[in-house]
Amino acid sequence: MALCLAFGVAPAHAAFINGQTYVPLADWAGANGLKIFWLRRGEEIAATNPTTRLVFDKDSNTAEINGIHVALSFPVANDHGNILIAQFDLDNTVRPLLFPSRYLKPKRIATICLDPGHGGRDSGNRVGGFFWHNEKTYTLQLALELRDQLRRAGFNVILTRTRDTYVDLPDRPALANRFGAGLFVSLHFNATQTGKNEVAGPETYCITPVGAASSNAQGEGADHGATTANRVEKNSLLFAYQIQKALVQNLGVNDRSVRRARWAVLCDAQMPAILIEGGYMTNPTESKRIYDAVWRRQMAAAIVKGIVNYQKLNAPKSAAPPAINHPPVKPPPSGTSTHPLRTSGSVGVSPARNTMMN
Ligand SMILES: [Zn+2]
């Protein structure tokens, strides 16, 4: 994507591009104990420390965060060899994924609402020729498999449909809200237009931040106001990330990234909510897997792992032993923290700088 660059605003090399404040990646990385180096000069840059690896591509709004692709709201820019990143993306995507404990609103998850996409007169994607495959069939079969596995893992599970019935979109998150579900998971399978059959791999969507366009929009919708889902937006992002990571790592599939969209079923959810596009029915290899019960069982198992990993991140702090009758807690020596960006002890050393860069 070509950017209309209008540089020259701030002394600290910050810039204002297409209505967004951009900051030098090198400055932000330095303030957070990350070293940056080119993977491909002028094109692709990495920011790393012993526990974290971020990769950004010039003009791209997909970043790699610890091995998983994540959509940014605005493309990174290259100003004469300096990679710039939108402050909006640092605030809404990068930092929440690197510092989850600062952003999560911890809550115990008892009930999970599964939403098999489409149903009844709404077939969803239809792919085939001699025999037509309907998306609605496979979303339901995956949901029933996932329900059984989640119950075995100790969760209560409710479904927006258990048969081939039509359910209005607003009724789906409404059910989750009414039952006080802790998570909402909408299940879908993808399709491309003819001639793009090579596209494959899962995509996991969560709500778009206020002020940004969705991943599936052409820059449109940035003026969209806040939805109910934006109240727990950071939880949803971290949930989506754990699911995408579990799918990619456990199934060995192509990573089509964590993405943002204001899908109707996501907007009204009061709990962390995601929509999984579990793969492409238009890809010859992937479609065979989607239609195969053994593969769907493996996919369900991967989703359960992602949910359990999110639950660990999201565990209420009350599970920790009480502070009384314990000696005062000493800060760990530099380099021993398990926090992803605190290994060099450089986080927060300069409050003024932190305010600017974080
Ligand atoms: Zn669908």
Amino acid letter, 331? P
**Centroid of ligand 1 to alpha carbon of 160 (angstroms):** 14
Confidence band for 153, pLDDT divided at 50, 70 and 90? very high
Ligand 1 midpoint to CA 353 (Å)? 45
Averaged pLDDT for residues 240-247: 98
Ligand 1 centroid–CA 63 distance in Å is: 25
How remote is the CA of residue 125 from the centroid of ligand 1, in Å? 6
From CA 241, how far away is CA 70, in angstroms rounded? 8
Cα-to-centroid distance, 270 and ligand 1 (Å) = 21
Q: How far apart are CA 26 and CA 286, in angstroms?
A: 39
Strand order in the sheet with 82-86: 15-17, 20-24, 82-86, 77-79
Whole-number Å distance, alpha carbon 91 to ligand 1 midpoint, is: 30
Find the mean pLDDT for residues 192-211.
Answer: 93
Q: Provide mean pLDDT across the span 98-108.
A: 90
Q: How far is the CA of 34 from the centre of ligand 1 (A)?
A: 39
pLDDT at residue 341 above 60? no
Q: For residue 333, give the DSSP letter.
A: P
163: pLDDT strictly greater than 90:
yes
Confidence at residue 342, expressed as pLDDT on a 0 to 100 scale: 32
pLDDT at 318: 55
Percent of the chain residues topping a pLDDT of 90 = 76
- Residue 270 tokens read as 């009061």
- pLDDT of 14 > 70? The answer is yes
The percent of residues above 70 in pLDDT, for the chain, comes to 85
Q: Which tens digit of pLDDT belongs to each residue from 215-239?
A: 988 788 888 889 999 999 999 999 9
Q: Higher pLDDT residue, 8 or 289?
A: 289
Distance 188 CA to ligand 1 centre (A): 4
Q: How confident is the model at residue 18 (pLDDT cuts 50, 70, 90)?
A: confident
Tell me, in angstroms, the distance from the centre of ligand 1 to residue 96's CA: 28
Expressed in angstroms and rounded, the spacing between residue 124 Cα and the centre of ligand 1 is 5
Per-residue pLDDT at 191: 97
Q: 274 has which bridge partners?
A: 185
Neighbours of 1 (CB within 10 A): 8
Tell me how far apart the alpha carbons of residues 73 and 135 are, in angstroms, rounded to a whole number. Answer: 29
**Interval between CA 123 and ligand 1 midpoint (Å):** 8
Residue 122 predicted with pLDDT over 80 = yes
- The DSSP H or E segment spanning 42 is none
pLDDT at 118 > cutoff 60: yes
323-332 residue pLDDT tens: 444 444 444 4
d(CA 72, CA 90): 9
Q: How far is the CA of 118 from the centre of ligand 1 (A)?
A: 6
pLDDT tops 50 at residue 34: yes
| CA separation, residue 160 to residues 87, 109, 216, 262, 300 (Å) | 38, 18, 25, 19, 17
| Span 54-89, pLDDT tens digits | 999 999 999 999 999 999 999 999 998 899 999 999
